[in-house]
């Protein structure tokens, strides 16, 4: 697996932080984020079931530019 690091939350410092990568082989996005709280998860499962192998995460708004960059990098050429 070849992951291309796009970036991390610019306000996270040296701590664990939300981050974004693009898998160079599959063009999948790989996202690290803060686990959503129980209330958020309860709300999301009203729209989409949450199987045990999946999770709900939150990314801060300030990461939108990083997500856009990752999406652009994952677009088929």
What is the pLDDT at residue 46?
97
What pLDDT, on a 0 to 100 scale, did the predictor assign at position 11?
A: 84
The total number of structural domains in the chain stands at 1
Quote the pLDDT of residue 49.
Answer: 96
Domain containing residue 43: 3-74
Which of 2-7's residues contact partners 24+ apart within 8 Å by CB, and which partners? 3/30, 4/73, 6/66, 6/69, 6/70, 6/73, 7/63, 7/66, 7/69
Per-residue pLDDT of the chain (77 residues; tens, 9 = 90+): 899 999 998 888 777 789 999 999 999 999 999 999 999 999 999 999 999 999 999 998 999 999 999 888 776 65
């Amino acid at each position: 697996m070849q992951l291309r690091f796009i970036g991390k939350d610019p306000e996270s410092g040296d701590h664990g932080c939300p981050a974004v990568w693009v898998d160079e082989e599959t063009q999948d996005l790989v996202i690290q984020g803060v686990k959503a709280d129980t209330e958020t998860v309860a709300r999301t499962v009203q729209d989409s079931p949450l199987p045990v192998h999946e999770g709900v995460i939150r990314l801060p708004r300030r990461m939108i530019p990083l997500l856009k960059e990752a999406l652009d990098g994952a677009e088929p050429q």
